[in-house]
Amino acid sequence: MEDRVAGGFGYDRLIINPHQGEGLRLNLFTGIATSDNYIFLDDITDFEEFVTSDARDTVTASNDGDRLILRGGQ
Ligand SMILES: [Ca+2]
């Protein structure tokens, strides 16, 4: 099953904030975002800015010059 989210033309911001304090695993190289129970996106395209959760997140950047807003976490 594919779960897609596409930004389209222009500058788009994607905010991903799983419930219950779950950390996010965001890989901008592969376009995949997951958390333990709530997030499974396997085709993220055409976003230029990403905002992660305030839990313990793991982000793998791409070579596309994406802008990241990382909200800390523990
Ligand atoms: Ca875009």
- The helix or strand, by DSSP H or E, that contains position 59, with its residue range, turns out to be strand 58-60
Each residue of 57-67: pLDDT tens digit? 999 999 888 99
Give the distance (Å) from ligand 1 centre to CA of residue 29. 16
Residues with CB under 5 A from ligand 1 (ion): 7, 12, 46
This prediction's pTM: 0.88
- Residue 12 binned pLDDT confidence (cut-offs 50, 70, 90): very high
CA distance 1 to 52: 24
Give the distance (Å) from ligand 1 centre to CA of residue 8. 5
Each residue of 21-51: pLDDT tens digit? 899 999 999 999 999 999 999 999 999 999 9
CA distance 40 to 60: 16
Give the distance (Å) from ligand 1 centre to CA of residue 56. 26
Give the distance (Å) from ligand 1 centre to CA of residue 74. 30
